[in-house]
Amino acid sequence: MGHTIREIATALDAEAAGNLDLVVTRAAEPAAADADALALAMDARYAEGIRQGAARAAMLWQGADWQALGLEAAIFVPRGRLAMAGLSRMLDPGPQIARVVHPMALVDPTAEIGADAAIGPFVTIGPQVRIGPNARIASHVSIAEGAEIGADALILQGARIGARVRIGDRFICQPGAVIGADGFSFVTLEKSGVEEIRETLGEREEIRQQSWVRIHSLGSVRLGDDVEVGANSTIDRGTIRDTVVGNGTKIDNLVQLGHNVQVGADCLICGQAGVAGSARIGNRVVLGGQVGVSDNIFVGDDVIAGGSTKIRTNAPAGRVILGDPAVKMETQIEIQKAMRRLPRLAATVAALQKAVSLKGQSD
């Protein structure tokens, strides 16, 4: 379905010029845009791409000379990526799920399904489940007994929602995510080697044969409003209390949140990050890809951790950290510079040693 330049500009609260009744049906990179596409060139660096393509309209940086670029219409935005958020929302048709309960879905008679729900084939919804209005649930999703999901949920193919999980409004869940599996929690009959190592930091009195006894997860998971969970991510249920994720937090693909983890509001947790059991993450924290957080520690509000950082101790609020183990980013940059100089330093030391040795022989 197409949109006029006027409609797009109004939705984005942006300025526009030229033929505002021009209709576009999709967005495209400038050089690949045809006559029906809106070229995205929100920075002057992409101007040449417009000349290479065939777009008649483009989204441009403020102050751009749209007529010199050969365009019939233009939309001007001060913040390109923010404009992209609004434009992509307009142009995304979303999954095609009919606003009915598919006859091949299995819904327990005690479940409560809100108005205008769209439930695809092979979905399983257990006893006492409550799902809010306007839910869209794609094929092969399972929602276990007692789960509660708010309004306007979008749960995509193959996701698994565990027993008694509670989720707020406007939840988005990508394919294959698992929310509410048991936590990874085990204990030995006597003090384990892991417990001993934690106390001694490396010393072991005796290596003994030990077997693991399972600690069952009696808690569940609570997610706030506007939470998103990426494909194949997992959030484990708590041991006694619930694992919690605050309002507005966005979780990327292949993320693991362990049992009893507490995550604040408006956090961004990127792909392959892992947060171990009982760790607490503050508000507005950003964890880059492959960041690891040790168990039972606290990461303060507004912390930003660069990719592959390993957080082993508490991180103060507002700190920008990097590396393994995590240190201030500026410290880690100096460490990396020093490491690059190590071969040259080693060669210098070897030359000095040789000179001293020769001098000693001559004496």
Query: Distance (Å, rounded) from C-alpha 147 to C-alpha 169?
Result: 14
For the entire predicted model, the pTM comes to: 0.90
Q: Which residues are catalytic?
A: 259
User: For 245-287, what is each residue's pLDDT tens digit?
Assistant: 999 999 999 999 999 999 999 999 999 999 999 999 999 999 9
Q: How many helices (H) and strands (E) does the chain have?
A: 5, 39
pLDDT over 90 for what percent of the chain? Answer: 90
* Model confidence at 362: pLDDT above 80: no
Q: What is the pLDDT of residue 359?
A: 78
Buried residues in 35-51 as b, exposed as e (16+ CB within 10 A): ebbbbbbbeeebbebbe
Interval 229-258 mean pLDDT = 98
User: For 115-145, what is each residue's pLDDT tens digit?
Assistant: 999 999 999 999 999 999 999 999 999 999 9
How many residues would you count in the chain? Answer: 363
Query: Distance (Å, rounded) from C-alpha 184 to C-alpha 83?
Result: 42
Q: What is the pLDDT of residue 68?
A: 95
User: For 202-215, what is each residue's pLDDT tens digit?
Assistant: 888 888 889 999 99
Alpha helices in 93-219 (DSSP H): 193-200
Q: What is the pLDDT of residue 150?
A: 98
Interval 60-79 mean pLDDT = 96
Q: Quick one: pLDDT band at residue 42, thresholds 50, 70, 90?
A: very high
Q: Quick one: pLDDT band at residue 312, thresholds 50, 70, 90?
A: very high
Query: Distance (Å, rounded) from C-alpha 231 to C-alpha 160?
Result: 11
Q: Quick one: pLDDT band at residue 356, thresholds 50, 70, 90?
A: confident
